[in-house]
A and B are shown apart, each in its own frame.
Chain A
Amino acid sequence: MTTDQGQSRGAARPLSPHLQVYRFALTMAMSIAHRITGVGLYVGTILLAWWLVAAASDASSFATASAFMGSAFGRLILFGFTWALFHHMLGGVRHFIWDLGYGMDHPEREYLAQGTLAGGLILTLLVWFLAYVVR
């Protein structure tokens, strides 16, 4: 027991096979995309906080924030943020469906993955279309 304790942490034990042994599937891409879009939204809250604080401050702070968001680079980031938001939201709905015990079998899980991917893109384009029309 005493010798085992010291070795237990650094011992080179066999690991179960990881990503490299699996054939690519849309469901695995959607799984990591859910996490990546989550991280994107996490970082993106900096922009949201900046925009809100600038709006609550003076006109020149708001003009600076507004100019950045309105620039080509700013719009690209906001477009990505919108997509991440909808993709992540639909990914969450997919998790709810799984939580209720549905959609884990072969054709259904593929449809859910395709639906998440397509739905996220469609909603993003719809919102940007609306934003330009409403404006």
Chain B
Amino acid sequence: MSGNSKSIRTPAAKVLYLGSARSGTRHAWRMRATSMALIPLTIGFVWLLITTVGKDHGVVRATLGHPFASILLLLFIPASVYHMMLGMQTIIEDYVHSEHVKSFALLANMFFSAVIGVACVYAILRLSFV
């Protein structure tokens, strides 16, 4: 045995890089921060949906392009996308045990979230400024 004699980690675990990545607190805190932000933002988003779903194109463009609606959506989308990315990361880490599949799934999670986030934000900006 070498190193810190107080450690309860086995030598095998050390050389295999098993153990804490020291990112858990940050993850948990960001999950809570985004979920707190999402409560009022979701209520605003649902209200926006109620007033726009089923309306014709011009009305939807005008409603979503209004500064209040656009700012609400520009806050709602990144908070949601980051929140859902963290949540899916937890699910993947809980259920996917093969290292290769897990790495791929975690990357796919990030790519999916980025695509959704960028697509929504781009669409909102285009509705606001074009």
Interface, chain A (partner B; CB < 8 A): 1, 4-5, 8, 35, 38-39, 41-42, 45-46, 48-49, 52-53, 55-56, 59, 62-63, 66, 69-70, 78, 82, 85, 89, 92-93, 95-96, 99, 127, 130-131, 134-135
B12 x A48 contact (CB < 8 A): no
Question: How many residues in B have their beta carbons less than 8 Å from beta carbons of A?
Answer: 38
A89 x B84 contact (CB < 8 A): no
B12 x A85 contact (CB < 8 A): no
B50 x A131 contact (CB < 8 A): yes
Residues of B within 8 A of A5 (CB): 11-12, 15
Shortest Cβ distance from A102 into chain B, in angstroms?
Answer: 16
Interface residues of chain B: helix, strand, loop or mixed (majority): helix
Shortest Cβ distance from B73 into chain A, in angstroms?
Answer: 8
Interface, chain B (partner A; CB < 8 A): 10-12, 15, 32, 35-36, 38-39, 42, 46, 49-51, 53-55, 57, 60-61, 64, 73, 80-81, 84, 87-88, 91, 115-116, 119-120, 122-124, 126-127, 130
B127 x A55 contact (CB < 8 A): yes
A55 x B123 contact (CB < 8 A): yes
Using A4-B12, A55-B61, A56-B122 as known contacts, say yes or no to A38 and B50 having CB atoms under 8 A apart: no
